[in-house]
Structure 1
Amino acid sequence: MLKRTSLLFLFVAGHFSLQAQQVIPFRITKHNNIIVKTLVNKKDSLDLMFQIAMKEGSISPERQRKADHLIFNKDGISDHNTVSIGKMTWKNIRFLDNQITGHEADGKIGTGLFEGKVFKIDYDNNQFAIYDEKPDLNGFQPVKIIFDQDAFYIPADNIIDDHQQQEAYFVLQSGYSGGILYSNEFAEKNELSNKLRITGEKKLKNSNAENLIIKQGVLPFWKLENFVFKDIPVGFFTGEQQTQKVSYFGADMLRRFIWIFDADREMAYIKPSKYYSEPHYKIN
């Protein structure tokens, strides 16, 4: 009887370990940015924007809250910091100084919070979940990803007109409030200025505080695995500044799915979130 009880305990304990997780709450701004409340170095309470395209953290020159306990060297780097969210604390987090961030944020925090772990971005419940093993993937569709220099790349099909379909890789970019933003190379190669219905132009400021002109147009179809978006607003930069080296899959598109990333950063698993069919974000 004792042996059977012990085996049952081991089974239950093993099952619990498989599903064990930590949860980090967040809020979403009207600009689609994810904000996490943090305590840095046990002293500075900061609202940090989650940036999926970076590993470390950063502080904005336009922050509303003090960050007096982050000490930067002459290169604008601060090492060996702690970041606390609720009862969880991470050590040896690097911060960069003077980087522009999203609305309502004092800076940014990246995927270093999830290093070596499976993590979920759950837009339905406004939380991250951290797992030791893959959770239940029922209802999720796998997407092959490339993880390079702390950025996630996904492939998607771009149907520009009746005769032209182009595959392109997009960097997941939660700091860009819009949806699809094309690289200069893709926009010029595929003559987007001539082939898309243009709806307007806007002036944006990048993380280096440089002013850039973005043209907005309508793409007939955009396809990620089995998910197809019709008449989707897209953006691309114009002018002599050829600064957009990669295409972005921005926060407006990210929020339309619930995401699970494996620990090896080789696969993502997605399913529609409650925002899947929401109107697209308009860049102001």
Structure 2
Amino acid sequence: MKRSDIKYRFFKILVMFIVGMQISYAQQKIRTIKSASEKALISDGDNVKMDWHLEAGVNPDIYYVNIPSQKSVIKFTTDQDELIINTQPQKKYDFVVLLNSKDSCHIQIASVLPPDAAHLETKNSYPIRVPFTLLNSRIYLNGQVNHKDVLLQLDMGAGTSVVNRKSSEKIGLEFSSHKMVSNTHGLNKERTSLNNQVTISGLQWNNIELTEVGNMDDSEDLIIGNGFFRDKIIGIDYDKKELTIYENLPNKAGDYKKMPVYYVQNRPMFNAEIVHNNKKYSSWFLFDTGRDGSMLIGNDFTGSKNNWEELNPLTVVNGRKIIRLDAFIAGVQFKDIVTNASNPAVPNAKASLFGNQILKHFNVILDNKKGTLYLKPNSLTHEPYFNYDSYLKQMSNK
């Protein structure tokens, strides 16, 4: 080989090495934005907006994309800068926020489900159909916890899986941790049991945390929520009293009214319209199948614009306005609902919601993969809910 050829090959290798180093550096280079405040804001797609607290001690501090199996546009906004990230499913994006020109806050945007997400295991073929019982507008399933028979409530408004304090000993749970729980008993630190197995009709979930609470009905042992199905499509058919788990969207969804959802602690939020004093309001509501009631107006609504001042109450009870309104869900009107509205001046983290006195009027398909809800009126469309006539009757008995 000629010396000139050797020099040429050496030069090619050297160039390739330098180019490779430059590519590697470009791949490792992390974007940096600035902030003079620990408060930031994350916008995820069209509907999710949430406050973010910058912490230099967490590396990385992870935000999980609301609907990770879909593309999204994430905007991370500080008082000085804004970063826009176009996410793809199963991808992670790292950047740094330089806080007060000295502290590096490492942030990761992860378009995946959180590592503690419940994972369904089954040998059954999809779709899988599970019978349920409807009692007082609530959905109940028969199942097992650690091979002990239990009665489970399917509560789409539940952000945490919980066990009835009266059932813990019967099931034989061991408690080694604690979790803060907000429910009708207020905000409390409750015992939590780790690494449990939950089974329902051939469906199995492992490593499930169960937090003990004292506000459940005596007859029910467990409450599970949509977190058990976040990578699945589920159907709730009140005509057949059947819960169905799908891998793919069924063809019958074309006969349903389609609408978007987003999630708060795996709990679906959907958009509906209410009419009060001849004024229309469009707002987001929690899809709360675990509430045996019609609805509730939370601070997310009453604290927006002049909504609280515009609500004309029938009466006021413990600072809450009792109001009369009409609601429109998936094109169906619910007249003269009587519900209570929270005073925005009183701290209250509860979201506005519709309960299952209303929601059970629809058969449901919830596509958790794409963040889409499908509703179709069913045979329960004439079932009663708490309305103005019910209110007058209740008041007359006082």
Output the TM-score relative to the length of structure 2. 0.56
Higher relative contact order (CA 8 A, sep 6+): 1
Are 1:232 and 2:337 counterparts?
yes
Q: Distance in 2 between matches of 1:157 and 1:127?
A: 28
Matches within 5 A, 1:1-284: 20-30=126-136, 32-42=137-147, 44-54=148-158, 56-63=160-167, 66-68=170-172, 70-75=173-178, 76-98=191-213, 100-102=215-217, 104-136=219-251, 137-162=253-278, 164-184=279-299, 186-187=301-302, 189-191=306-308, 195-198=312-315, 216-219=322-325, 221-237=326-342, 241-281=346-386
Q: Which runs of 5+ in 1 are unaligned?
A: 1-18, 202-211
SS at match of 1:105: coil
Q: Distance in 1 between matches of 2:264 and 2:350?
A: 14
Deviations 1:67-115 (A, max 9, x none): 21x2221412222211122333222222112252356312311224323
Q: Is contact 2:314-2:321 (8 Å) kept?
A: no
Q: Is contact 1:120-1:260 (8 Å) kept?
A: yes
Q: Distance in 1 between matches of 2:218 and 2:335?
A: 28
Q: Percent identity?
A: 23
Of structures 1 and 2, the larger Rg is shown by: 2
- Structure 1 residue 185: Cα displacement: 5.1
- Structure 1 residue 224: Cα displacement: 2.2
- Structure 1 residue 192: Cα displacement: 7.1
Q: Distance in 2 between matches of 1:105 and 1:242?
A: 30
- Structure 1 residue 130: Cα displacement: 0.6
Deviations 1:165-193 (A, max 9, x none): 21111011122211110013534642479
Q: Is contact 1:48-1:107 (8 Å) kept?
A: yes
Deviations 1:187-236 (A, max 9, x none): 464247961444x85xxxxxxxxxx88654321x2122422222122222
In structure 2, the CA distance between the partners of 1:143 and 1:88, relative to structure 1 (3 Å rule), is same
How many residue pairs match? The answer is: 250
Q: Distance in 2 between matches of 1:240 and 1:105?
A: 35
What amino acid is aligned across from residue 261 of structure 1 in structure 2?
L
Q: Distance in 1 between matches of 2:344 and 2:160?
A: 32
- Structure 1 residue 275: Cα displacement: 1.5
What amino acid is aligned across from residue 190 of structure 1 in structure 2?
N
Q: Distance in 2 between matches of 1:180 and 1:147?
A: 18
Q: Distance in 1 between matches of 2:356 and 2:296?
A: 11
Q: Distance in 2 between matches of 1:115 and 1:53?
A: 14
In structure 2, the CA distance between the partners of 1:236 and 1:104, relative to structure 1 (3 Å rule), is farther
Q: Distance in 1 between matches of 2:205 and 2:154?
A: 15
Structure 1 residue ranges, 4+ long, deviating more than 6 angstroms after superposition = none
Q: Which runs of 5+ in 2 are unaligned?
A: 1-124, 179-190
- Structure 1 residue 62: Cα displacement: 4.1
Output the TM-score relative to the length of structure 1. 0.77
Q: Distance in 2 between matches of 1:86 and 1:45?
A: 12
In structure 2, the CA distance between the partners of 1:127 and 1:99, relative to structure 1 (3 Å rule), is farther
* 223-232 vs 169-178, greater mean Cα deviation: 223-232
What amino acid is aligned across from residue 23 of structure 1 in structure 2?
R
Over aligned residue pairs, what C-alpha RMSD do you find? 2.9
Q: Is contact 1:24-1:128 (8 Å) kept?
A: yes
Q: Distance in 2 between matches of 1:262 and 1:191?
A: 33
Q: Is contact 1:173-1:249 (8 Å) kept?
A: yes
SS at match of 2:254: coil
